[in-house]
Amino acid sequence: MSAVNKINELNRQLLESIDKKGILDHELSVYHSRLMEIIKGEYMAELGNAVEEYVNRVMSNIWNEAKKECRGVLCMCKKLNSLKELLEEMEEVLYEEIEHWHES
């Protein structure tokens, strides 16, 4: 599976996860569109900042939503950890793609 296919799959999973938790919003949709442009090579130089800003914003949204939905710390930690792992995996694949792009 190519890096681009992995990114597409991770995006699909991320959007489904967040949508199920009721926090899919305009900003996430905008980021998703921008990520597709990154994959096409239009914003390769901005990759690091885009991913970092996105991770920070989404994790903040997830944290706020988890606080509303969960009664206990354990519930909150489970939600945050599952999405954090997905974001970390997506970031790793993105960096693999940029390294491949620089090599070619």
Q: Which residues of 4-16 are buried (b: 16+ CB within 10 A; e: fewer)?
A: eebbbebbeebee
How far is Cα 19 from Cα 3, in angstroms, rounded to an integer? 24
The CB-side HSE value for 46 (13 A sphere, CA atoms) comes to: 13
Q: What is the pTM of this model?
A: 0.35
CB atoms within 10 A of CB 28: 18
pLDDT of residue 73: 57
Tens-digit pLDDT string for the chain (104 aa): 565 666 667 667 766 665 555 544 455 555 666 665 655 554 455 555 666 566 667 666 766 666 666 665 566 566 666 666 776 777 777 777 777 766 76
pLDDT of residue 9: 72
